[in-house]
Amino acid sequence: MRKIRIGTRKSKLAIAQSEWVASWLRERYPEFGVELVRITTSGDRIQDSPLSKVGGKGLFVKEIEEALLREEVDLAVHSLKDMPAELPKGLSIICYPEREDPRDALVTNTPSDLETLSPFSRIGTSSLRRKCQLISMRKDLEIIPLRGNVDTRLKKLKTEGLDGIILAMAGINRLGIEVPHLEPISTSSLIPAVGQGCLAVEARSQNGFMRELLRPLNHPETELRARAERSFLITMGGGCQVPMGAIAEIREKRLILKAILLDWVNYERILVQREGTLSDPEGLGRAVGEEILSQGGREIIQRMLKEA
């Protein structure tokens, strides 16, 4: 029996996401054996520093991509928001399953939302994107650095005197976990990370066999939205040190992309929304990125990278 080896991080969420893809493969192609290969990434080993200080989101995929290139695994399942803008030569995203809820959510011990939180509440998150947008909404909030998996963050909500933490709705839904009190935050208030809620199945670019196997799992609308958002990310550059977000939607056969660049030095923000055709998602992403850069984004990015 031919085996399909899926590389994955060891976290509960990563295993749940990879097992979901593995189950789909087993059901559709019972002639293949499907196994998960659990890999510890640099991002998993470094838990005491913000990602922006230790190398960015690529730390969660680097070792898995190296295993792909060495042909130790056939596929990798990632959270798309963990993937850097540029993929290593020889690797491609071959499948975008249907997107989960892309929103962020406020999790609290007692019922509350961003408007009703007590003054000077302590909110846990290590995301610069979330921090800057939260402070722009509530300048009184104290943002507390918070790393770790979902379980670890939920424990710290109770043990470290926090009034709330910010989690991704997609992770909560995929894990099927109970949280104390959950308040989803509209994407019009807090713009998500690029690709938030999306899974990406990565493989060697020349592996046409795997591409064909996964084709029925690919969700065309999710792919278009993801490609527009990632094109914006590529245009902006800057990596994890530069807080930005983007969310693409399809309405009446038009692709709409809203994106934001935030300044963690003085909390400036540039917000742009444009629409384009479904035939050119990358063109829309570039156009939005270039507009933000032309509106002062280049100077903001240079200032933040200098301060980093």
Of residues 133 and 42, more confidence is placed in 133
Q: Is the pLDDT of residue 67 over 90?
A: yes
Among 111-115, 116-120, 204-208, 265-269, the least confident range: 265-269
Tokens of 1: 């029996």
Residue 77 dihedral angles phi and psi, to the nearest 5°: -110, 120
Higher pLDDT: 125 or 46? It is 125
Equal CATH topology for 1-97+198-218 and 104-185 = yes
Instruction: Find tokens 């943002």 and name the residue.
Output: 143
Domain boundaries, the chain: 1-97+198-218, 104-185, 219-308
Give per-residue pLDDT as tens, 36-59.
Answer: 999 988 766 655 555 555 455 577
Q: Which residues are catalytic?
A: 82
Residue 149: is its pLDDT beyond 80?
yes
**pLDDT per residue over 212-249, tens digit each?**
999 999 999 999 999 999 999 999 986 667 899 999 99
For domain 219-308, the CATH superfamily is Porphobilinogen deaminase, C-terminal domain (3.30.160.40)
pTM score, whole prediction = 0.92
Q: Summarize pLDDT for 156-208 with one digit per residue, the tens.
A: 999 999 999 999 999 999 999 989 899 999 999 999 999 999 999 999 999 99
Q: Tally the C-alpha atoms within 13 A of residue 140's C-alpha that lie toward its C-beta.
A: 8
Give every strand in the sheet of 254-262, ordered side by side.
244-251, 254-262, 269-276
Alpha carbon distance 64, 78 (integer Å): 9
Quickly state the pLDDT bin for 12 (edges 50, 70, 90).
very high
Query: At residue 119, does pLDDT exceed 90?
Result: yes
Residue 195 has which token pair? Answer: 């690709």
**Which homologous superfamily does the CATH classification assign to the domain defined by 1-97+198-218?**
Periplasmic binding protein-like II (3.40.190.10)
> For the chain, what is the mean pLDDT?
92
- Do residues 189 and 115 touch, judged by C-beta distance below 8 A? no
- Which CATH architecture group holds 104-185? 3-Layer(aba) Sandwich (3.40)
